Amino acid sequence: VAGVKVTLLGGGADGKLSTTGDNTSVDVTTDADGNYKFSGLTPGVEYQVKFDKPAGSVFTRLDAGGDSSDSDAGAGGLSQVITLSSGENNAPIDAGVYVPASLGDRVWLDANGNGQQDEGETGVAGARVTLIGGGLDGLVSTTADNTSVETVTDANGNYKFDGLFPGTEYQVKFEAPTGAVF
């Protein structure tokens, strides 16, 4: 992601981040490919990288895989504390972000039973809608870790689920109102 501010927090004269009075910070901005670099760092000093995130995005899961390909930034955008050795280049300190997904639509009274939302057909208020999510593995078929959240339709029959993870399988379950069939 281009144009993201990345801040290097340094341990200052005593080399420790925990003594905040002398800590240092340096900002850079990611290039067109999302890359950044801090150089000329002092061996033995504690450093931590803080990532900003683009508007509307959130940080992805921390340490979800191998260090060269997963995100090192937690929910607040901070990496782990790093202490470098002389000549060391610790390149895989990175952050993954994504824009949460959403899904939803409408439950309506199909007055003529043709399976289409025809003009003038009204929404069904208060219909129960359940979203089943694929859990940690992202698959609905492995039910042991699935998630479930419910909502009811608004006065116009509309519903929406926000904050969804891209790449995760979801399934929507509708409950027919009393006396109605699908």
3-state secondary structure 5-65: EEEEEECCCCCCCCCHHHCEEEEEECCCCCCCCCCCCCCCCEEEEEECCCCCCEECCECCC
65 pLDDT band, cuts 50/70/90, is: low
Q: Would you say residue 62 has pLDDT above 80? A: no
Taking residues 99-106, report their average pLDDT: 96
Residue 125: per-residue pLDDT: 96
Percentage above 70 pLDDT, the chain: 96
Average pLDDT, whole number, for the chain? 92
55 pLDDT band, cuts 50/70/90, is: very high
Residue 152: per-residue pLDDT: 97
Q: Rounded to an integer, what distance in angstroms lies between the CA atom of residue 27 and that of residue 112?
A: 63
